[in-house]
Each structure stands twice: as structure tokens, then as C-alpha cells.
Amino acid sequence: MCLAIPSKIVEINEAGLGIIDVDGVKRDCSLLMIDSPQIGDYVIVHAGFALHKIDEVEAGKMLDTLREVAFYSQGLEPDKKE
């Protein structure tokens, strides 16, 4: 029941409704449960509601940590994949 794929907000109307794009598929979505939604934001949507706006900075930091954890012990460059 949980949709794990973050969707991009592509349209917002005054009533707090938006249109999201998940891999090319567009759907209606309520934006009432997130703070100041903007077009271009990535959100996690469940049962027709955006429930979380992804923090790009946090996501980037986490990915760096993850690469460090994964590649660290063999002394590989963590950013080898860039």
C-alpha cells in the first residue's frame, strides 16, 4: 500500500491540490500535508497525499555517508561512481 517512489510536483492549484509525475505517469495529489510545496519538489506520496518533501541537501549528505560506509574498508574512493 505504500508507494516508495518519490514523485515530482509538476502543477499546483490554489485549493492545495497538485499534479505529480511518477516516471512519466501523472496523478492528482493533495499537497495539504506538506509545508510550502513548490513545483519541482520531490515528494513521497501515499494514498493520494504528498506526505513528505525530500530535502535535497540531506539526501545528498546521506548518499555521501552511504558511499563512505560501502567503500571505506577497502580504501576505495568513495566517489568512484561519479
Partner 1 sequence: MALKHVEEYRDSEIAKKLIERIHETSTKDFKVMEVCGTHTMSIFKNGIRDVLPDTVSLISGPGCPVCVTAQKDICAFIDIARMENTIVTLFGDLMKVPGGDSTLMLERANGADVRIVYSALDSIKIAQENPDKKVVFLGVGFETTAPTIAASIQAASKMGLKNFFVYTAHKLVPPALEVLMNTEGVKIDGFLLPGHVLLISGTDEYVPFVEKYKIPTVVGGFEPVDILHAMLMMIQQFEEGKGTLENAYQRAVSAEGNVIAKNAMYDVFETSTAIWRGIGPIPESGLSINDKYKEFDASIALGLDVKEVDEPKGCACGAILTGLMSPPDCKLFKKVCTPINPIGPCMVSNEGTCAAFYKYHV
Q: For binding to partner 1 (CB under 8 A), which residues are involved?
A: 1-2, 4-6, 8, 23-24, 27-28, 30, 32-35, 42, 44, 46-49, 51-52, 54-55, 58-59, 61-63, 66-67, 69-71, 73-74, 80-81
DSSP string over 3-35? --S-EEEEEE-TTSEEEEEETTEEEEEE-TTSS
Minimum distance of partner 1 from residue 39's CB (angstroms): 15
Query: CB within 8 A of 18, min separation 6: which ones?
Result: 9, 10, 11, 12, 28, 29, 30, 31, 37, 50
Compute the least distance from the CB of residue 10 to partner 1, in Å: 13
Q: Which one, 39 or 59, has the nearer CB to partner 1? A: 59
